[in-house]
Every structure is written in C-alpha cells, then in structure tokens.
Amino acid sequence: MAEVKLQEGETLENALRRFKRKVQQEDIIKEVKRHSFYLKPGEKRRAKQALARKRNRKKSRREIE
C-alpha cells in the first residue's frame, strides 16, 4: 500500500507526484489490471508467448541497427 505524508511546506502537487511515482515503483496498477479479469491458463500461456515473440522481434531489430 503506497502512502505519502505531506511534508511541511510541500505543495499538494508535489505530494501527488511523489505518490504517483511510488505507486508506479510498487507496480500497484499492473497488479490491479492483472486481477481485474480471469484468464484461462491456455490464454495466459498464449499471451506470454506473444509477449516473448514481440520482445525478440524488438531485440533483433535493435541488433541490426
């Protein structure tokens, strides 16, 4: 659970920026999205394989350049 306390003399915008950064570092948004719907094991495996293929294509493109 991300928690940010407002420091003395700190603006609300700065505290909000710190909170957003902390949430991003703790991968809270990613975890919420992952649990928002159920994927069958086969669908999860296919998605994982597709992501690996995409990563490999991107890696090979970078090596060519």
| pLDDT tens figures, 17-31 | 999 999 999 988 888
Tell me how far apart the alpha carbons of residues 35 and 63 are, in angstroms, rounded to a whole number: 35
Q: Which residue has the tokens 């069958």?
A: 40
| Closest C-alpha to 16, from 6, 28, 25, 26 | 6
Tell me how far apart the alpha carbons of residues 24 and 18 are, in angstroms, rounded to a whole number: 10
Question: How high is the pLDDT of residue 2?
Answer: 83
Residue 11 pLDDT exceeds 90: yes
pTM above 0.75, yes or no: no
**What are the structure tokens assigned to 17, written together?**
């920026």
